[in-house]
Amino acid sequence: MKTISLTYENVGDYGAWIVPDMAENLDREYYRGLILEDDEDTPVAGMLYEILYNEEERPTEAAIRWLKIMDGSVAPALFEAYGKAAKDNGVSRTSFVIPVKDSAVEKAALKEAGFRVKLTEGNDIIVTLDELKALPIMKSTAVPDSIRPLNRINARAFRRAVSKCSMLGKKGVCEDLSYLPLSWFDPDVSCYSEEDGEVNGLMLFHKRPSGVVAIQLMIGLTSDPQMILLGMMRQFVISLEACYGPMVKVILDRHNQSSFKLSEKLLPRGFGIPVYAGDRDEE
């Protein structure tokens, strides 16, 4: 049995084993991966995790973003390797969220490795274009001139807006927001709001290899951001219909209280997929 550090350079060697939507994240600043192979060089377990940084840019936590274990008997070796990596990176706590579907082995392995595990509703809501077009905000398709597709923003204005978001601690689902290039975000369906030459709102999406469009950041940088957010959502739905077919799926992540409240208002019958979630303290 051997453990391999998974990187963006070697992830292609495991293309048939790792979900592409997960594998692409290894090109990001704080994502790491581990693969466990048997004596015949066949993958038997693996994980991707993100190191999370606090305001002082010191790692204190990590989050397991993907976990696959073919046989529970090999799980201790995988978590032993992860424990060493966590210690090397100064991680004191590790959390995880994995889908319930087809995760019985992973759930048992997490418990055995000392993780607290609970069944809960996930933050992600998967919606269709038709559901978005039926939103109350789409009764009118008028969009203020101040709201524009991201493909019209210049790099300097984008970086300035992102820096402001990071200083405010508003990173959406991207802990590494400051490190992500403009090209990470779908330029045709993402949008921004601008007033007097300054960006005062961002709604950023990323198109995954599977074709799913996932929200990354939704923020209004004003004292009353609601109208900006609703206007940007309208622009997003219009752009989505123009750029993609009717079968496109969108993931809305209710990652904080404001995004949860907005999703409750727009999609009151929306439910997240069932997940196992939990954490453990590292040595």
CATH code, 117: 3.40.630.30
Q: Which sign, positive or negative, has the C-alpha torsion 232, 236, 238, 242? A: positive
Number of domain units in the chain: 2
In a domain, 270, yes or no: no
The parent domain of residue 106 ranges over 2-123+275-281
Q: Which helix (H) or strand (E) holds 202?
A: strand 198-207
Q: Terminus-to-terminus CA distance in the chain, angstroms?
A: 24
State residue 203's pLDDT score. 94
36 and 90 share one domain: yes
Taking each helix axis from N to C terminus, what angle separates 104-112 and 75-88, rounded to the nearest 10 degrees?
A: 60
113 and 44 share one domain: yes
In a domain, 234, yes or no: yes
Mean pLDDT of the residues in the chain: 89
Residue 20 confidence class, pLDDT cut points 50, 70, 90: very high
Q: Degrees (nearest 5) of the Cα angle 134, 135, 141?
A: 90
State residue 131's pLDDT score. 85
Phi and psi angles of residue 91, each rounded to the nearest 5 degrees, phi first: -80, 130
State residue 122's pLDDT score. 79
56 and 107 share one domain: yes
Residue 245, classed as helix, strand or coil, is: coil
Average pLDDT for 37-47:
93
CA 107 to CA 86: how far, in whole Å?
Answer: 20
In a domain, 259, yes or no: no
In a domain, 168, yes or no: yes
In a domain, 262, yes or no: no
Quick: pLDDT tens for 77-123: 999 999 999 999 889 999 999 999 989 999 999 999 999 999 998 77
In a domain, 137, yes or no: yes
State residue 269's pLDDT score. 56
State residue 137's pLDDT score. 80
Q: Which sign, positive or negative, has the C-alpha torsion 31, 275, 203, 211? A: positive
Is the pLDDT at 36 greater than 70? The verdict is yes
Average pLDDT for 28-35:
94
Report whether 35 contacts 43 (CB < 8 A).
yes
Is the pLDDT at 134 greater than 90? The verdict is no
71 and 131 share one domain: no
In a domain, 266, yes or no: no
Quick: pLDDT tens for 182-209: 999 999 999 999 998 899 999 999 999 9
Quick: pLDDT tens for 214-273: 999 999 888 788 888 889 989 999 999 999 988 899 988 765 555 555 656 555 455 678
103 and 196 share one domain: no
Residue 200 identity: N
In a domain, 184, yes or no: yes
129 and 247 share one domain: yes
Residue 57, classed as helix, strand or coil, is: coil
Quick: pLDDT tens for 156-167: 999 999 999 988
224 and 142 share one domain: yes
Report whether 132 contacts 264 (CB < 8 A).
no
Quick: pLDDT tens for 135-178: 888 888 788 899 999 999 999 999 999 999 988 888 888 989 99
